[in-house]
Chains A and B, each alone.
Chain A
């Protein structure tokens, strides 16, 4: 079994005990409806999870997957409908009831106390106490070692959770559920925070759990993963089950079920024709307020008519790099030049005026003013220019005309451009941001997570627009934690790990190579490792 990146020294593993066979249970959801006011998040959903199966719940963001699972886990009460366990109806007043019948959940955002140890976290809510109510963690530690050994997790029960890598924290969540004898495990978008290797390992774990009799409900919007691991796939769209499929079904078929119309999943893009190099980052170091180097001596360049993708697991300095370019960061050393102009030390206004189009990673926090109308958001960084204002007075007619044009051009689905932008879906909000940033002549287009939380149909459209900007001769920098997206868009790919540049590779590089680089190998080390997987790599611990 591969345990890359997560396994510690082998000698510390206790001998594996005889595996406990988990008694399987059959889970049925019958006509579950959950509405929040006028919004129906789940509409008469029927779902059967057979014992010992991996059942995937596929759907776009906002389709109602998580709501359904929260109903199943007792966090929400269904408006109508029934949950049956092994044929008899059950009602959950809260997660404790769900756990009692053997349902465990690993949330997308972990429910762990960072300053507690693994054992304390696992015991939390399920503490065994000795005489006089004194906490007895020994039983919990034993149980953690048992489970770890059985599935090869090798998690130290006394490690502080906050100091563990994200992948290991996820294992702690799984252990937590297994320690409570979960027979059905719900994994909510578990791969969002993992490297490709960690994702593969998680899938191995899922298969092992299944072999051991645990049923798994796997929630995802990533078709590749769903196809790789599922026994059965249920597709949800707009709160309704639109069909079930076998994992052997073609990807395009699953995608069109998910979106509700046929989509092309592969981006048609001509080969890049790079021109002169106009954007260069040289020896860039960004320090955060705590004094840590979050971007560490990074150097790269982007040419006109080329897309450079920046890959990496979330939190490895991509956000800070993008913010440094825009002038949002203090403590920036090194140089960022655009067409010979130094950008370091300039204000955001000056950087924007220099011709940088910027799509921030978090559109709701940084890209849009939720209470403002769509029209106002479309001029959020252009309001001082003609024709949108003159002599310090806004020209509402010009702003409205611009909005009408952009809404049509970018196919923003809205009744009126005067509606608050917060009423739009995520995909349409992102279209507003891109429409704004692409609506002036650019010398650099920098987009962080350009399609995060965006439905598959809109992704296709947004990607085309980005490629069109490249073809118009603009250097494009894409920062994304979705490796699929980086691979699809980029002409070259730079990988960041712990703030350092691991190397720049061609856009058609293999997932394995990129995965190793995302886990901290330089491009040469990663290539050497792929050529000779058994060779020992000499490298200094970071």
Chain B
């Protein structure tokens, strides 16, 4: 068909191949589909995921408990003994977890009794970082970088704390703003790279996490090092730069928790009531339609990563100016990664994120009590948390377990 065809009376379209239909770059690839699939699950799926994870955790507690093992040795002689041993083992462990996270009447001190405030303390940075992930999610970005943004936020906040000498009140405000700035800077890098070059935010934020971890270690060995210590830790934060304690010196709960609640309200307003949030949600669900409606998708990516980074930076301030009172290389712990689970478990709504963060705070506060009082490895908590991730990340798994029908979006093709 490439022969020079004789002139015919008929047009011969094969001589002038139609221009191939130009395919436009889809801005939401496989990742976007997966995120939407995860978020399409409803609250029931989140609750069921937690319950199933707790049940599997209970099985692990039972099989690793020597009391259950020895009772199972004479299972056929006395099956009741095995059942009792299992029940005792699981109820001891989860009972200790629950009491440790909420209220333990048996403890000798008030701090010991009122574990609920430890739960809130642990939840504070999780709420803030979880909101960071939630906001980015809703805009169609997978912010894996909360970890790095927390580290940068804590570093900036720490530097503002150590190097400045400001009056009460003002110093804390400056520390908070510095933390938000540090996080926004780190988030913004990912946003700008995504918007300008199309670099995938997952890759960029993962790499920025490594850079942040290395950067803080470098600073802790040099500029930010406590001269009186041989370890790479910073000096203590001055009192003016700390969040005030909410319940006196016996409890660690600090005003960062109030800030976190304010952030929940603010993000709720931003997402659901503001024109900016309308753009973010439109971009997150269908960037092509958002673009056609006159929204500037790239600008949305940049601004949302600045805000998300700032939120994670605030989580950093809750650590350095609240719970830890100084900066070390482990300042972010696993908060940045737990935040992803928290956001998923909370189905990327601000209040869902808040309650999921409380649950994870409770795991952390109760986990210690479970290890001490019930002699169950604290790793069980990590296992349960991981199982929650597993079940949430695979909504079809939970659906098939409980025979929940998936909502069909378009109906069957006709």
Contacts and interface: CB of A to CB of B under 8 A. Distances in A.
A3 B11 CA distance: 10
A315 B414 contact: no
B14 interface: yes
A4 B22 contact: no
B3 interface: yes
B248 interface: no
B304 to A, nearest CB: 15
B9 A536 contact: yes
B17 interface: yes
Interface string A59-99: 00111111100000000000000000000000000000000
B9 A516 contact: no
Interface string A418-444: 000010000000000000000000000
Contacts of B278: 376, 383, 394
A510 to B, nearest CB: 17
A289 B22 contact: yes
Interface in B249-306: 269, 273-276, 278, 281-282, 285-286, 288-296
Given A41-B414, A380-B293, A535 B274 contact: no
A529 B9 contact: yes
Interface stretch (A173-181, A255-263, A364-372): A364-372
A64 B414 contact: yes
B412 A41 contact: yes
B77 interface: no
B26 to A, nearest CB: 9
A217 interface: no
Contacts of A316: 18-19
A365 B274 contact: no
A65 B273 CA distance: 43
A358 to B, nearest CB: 7
B401 interface: no
Given A64-B414, A165-B17, A371 B285 contact: yes
B9 A66 contact: no
Given A4-B10, A65-B414, A536-B9, A294 B292 contact: no
B28 to A, nearest CB: 11
Given A349-B296, A352-B294, A315 B409 contact: no
B90 to A, nearest CB: 38
B408 interface: yes
29 contacts: A3-B10, A5-B13, A7-B10, A8-B3, A8-B5, A8-B14, A36-B411, A66-B413, A67-B414, A314-B21, A315-B18, A348-B292, A349-B295, A351-B294, A352-B294, A360-B292, A369-B281, A372-B281, A380-B282, A384-B275, A389-B275, A392-B275, A393-B269, A393-B273, A394-B273, A498-B19, A516-B11, A536-B7, A542-B16
Contact of B274 (A156, A392, A533): A392
Q: Which of B17, B286, B291 gathers most chain A CB within 10 Å?
A: B286
A196 interface: no
Contacts of B413: 66-67
Interface string B1-43: 1011111111111111111111000000000000010000000
Contacts, number: 172
**Overall SS of chain A's interface:** loop
Contacts of A292: 19-20, 22
Contact of A383 (B11, B20, B275): B275
B9 A369 contact: no
B108 interface: no
Given A6-B14, A536-B8, 18 more contacts: A9-B3, A65-B414, A156-B1, A165-B14, A165-B18, A168-B14, A294-B22, A326-B292, A351-B294, A352-B293, A365-B288, A369-B281, A370-B409, A393-B273, A394-B273, A535-B9, A537-B11, A542-B16
A358 B17 CA distance: 29
A8 B5 CA distance: 7
A227 B414 CA distance: 22
A409 interface: no
B379 interface: no
B12 A369 contact: no
Given A5-B12, A5-B13, A358-B292, A315 B411 contact: no
Contacts of B5: 8-9, 541
Contacts of B20: 292, 315
Nearest to A525: B11
A358 B294 CA distance: 11
B405 interface: yes
Contacts of B16: 497-498, 520, 541-542
A427 to B, nearest CB: 13
Interface of A: 3-9, 36-37, 39, 41, 61-67, 156, 159, 163-168, 288-290, 292-294, 313-317, 319-320, 326, 328, 347-349, 351-353, 358, 360, 365-372, 376, 380-381, 383-384, 389, 392-394, 396, 422, 497-499, 516, 519-521, 529, 533-539, 541-542
A200 to B, nearest CB: 13
A317 B19 contact: yes
Contacts of B1: 8, 156, 159, 163-164
Interface of B: 1, 3-22, 36, 269, 273-276, 278, 281-282, 285-286, 288-296, 405, 408-414
A65 B414 CA distance: 6
Contacts of B286: 365, 368-371
B196 to A, nearest CB: 14
A104 B413 CA distance: 20
Nearest to A519: B11
B294 A381 contact: yes
A516 B10 CA distance: 9
B414 A521 contact: no
A422 B289 contact: no
A61 B412 CA distance: 12
Contacts of A347: 294, 296
Contacts of A3: 10
B291 A370 contact: no
A159 B409 CA distance: 40
B367 to A, nearest CB: 37
A36 B408 contact: yes
Contact of A9 (B6, B285, B288): B6
B19 A315 contact: yes
A533 B274 CA distance: 64
B414 A367 contact: no
B11 A368 contact: no
Contacts of A63: 414
A37 B405 contact: yes
A96 B288 CA distance: 39
| Closest 4 pairs (CB-CB, A-B) | A542-B16, A349-B294, A381-B293, A36-B412
Given A67-B412, A369-B286, A165 B294 contact: no
Contacts of B408: 36-37, 39
B19 A5 contact: no
A366 B289 contact: yes
B288 A366 contact: yes
Contacts of B13: 5, 165, 167, 519-520
A168 B17 CA distance: 12
Contacts of B282: 369, 372, 380
Q: Which of B9, B15, B292 gathers most chain A CB within 10 Å?
A: B292
Nearest to A68: B414
A537 B7 CA distance: 7
A39 B22 contact: no
B364 to A, nearest CB: 34
A211 B26 CA distance: 46
A68 B11 CA distance: 38
Nearest to B25: A289
B60 to A, nearest CB: 36
Contact of A368 (B22, B289, B294): B289
B9 A367 contact: no
A39 B7 CA distance: 55
A71 to B, nearest CB: 12
